[in-house]
Amino acid sequence: MIVIADANVLIDLGLVNGLGVLTQLAQVEVLDVVFNECTAPSQLQDLIISVGIQKIEVTIDWLLASRQYQQGELSSPDALCLYYAKTFECGLITNDKPLRKASQQQGIEIHGTLWIIRQAYEQKILSSNELCKWISTLVKLDRRMPAQEVGKLRDLMGC
């Protein structure tokens, strides 16, 4: 599966040193405009490239075509991610609620940070102890994760 990654998930994974897990789950691409948003934690852009996430250069044609999706709360990079996922038939990794909603309406497969953690657990990529630490770190840093889903995942992994 090829997925296009949004900045919020890349930042989450950067905070827990987990970008390598994402690339074990899927072939991952990031649009250059999204890549440019990934400035924290420090050296995140270097880490993104080092784990094999492919940076895709946005064309002016894509930018123009993506405007049809730029409604409501969707930013220009969000609309580009939606356009890219729809056009190139790939999944989308994001925690952004408006982007998730718009993508669902377009029939795009969507996942987020909690899905990545669950897959890492189910596929035994990392121990439940390590993944529980990820959740604790992300919750402490007030990252976008629904409390009910976090609770279910903690129960599943025995956190």
Phi, psi of 146, deg, nearest 5: -65, 130
Interior CA angle at 127 toward 52 and 140, to 5°?
Answer: 85
- The pLDDT score that the predictor gives to residue 121 is 98
153 neighbors 118 (Cβ within 8 angstroms): yes
Give the number of other CB atoms < 10 A from CB of residue 59: 9
Per-residue confidence band for 64, with pLDDT thresholds at 50, 70 and 90: very high
106 neighbors 84 (Cβ within 8 angstroms): no
- The pLDDT score that the predictor gives to residue 2 is 96
52-55's contacts with Cβ under 8 Å and 24+ in sequence apart are: 52/23, 52/28, 53/5, 53/10, 53/19, 53/22, 53/23, 53/28, 53/29, 54/27, 54/28, 54/29, 54/30, 55/29, 55/30, 55/31
| pLDDT (average), residues 121-150 | 95
Per-residue confidence band for 40, with pLDDT thresholds at 50, 70 and 90: confident
Q: Give the chain's mean pLDDT.
A: 95
State yes or no: pLDDT of 106 exceeds 90: yes
State yes or no: pLDDT of 144 exceeds 80: no
State yes or no: pLDDT of 125 exceeds 90: yes
For the chain, give every domain's residue range: 2-113, 114-157
* Radius of gyration for the chain, computed over Cα atoms and rounded to the nearest angstrom: 15
| pLDDT (average), residues 31-52 | 94
Which DSSP state fits 110?
A: E
Q: What is the C-alpha separation between 83 and 103, in angstroms, rounded? A: 9
CATH code for the structural domain at 2-113: 3.40.50.1010
Give the three-state DSSP class for 83. helix
State yes or no: pLDDT of 122 exceeds 80: yes
pTM: 0.94
**Residue 144 CB contacts under 8 Å (≥ 6 apart), including other chains:** 8, 95, 96, 97
88 neighbors 66 (Cβ within 8 angstroms): no
Predicted confidence (pLDDT) per residue in 80-98, tens digit:
999 999 999 999 999 999 9
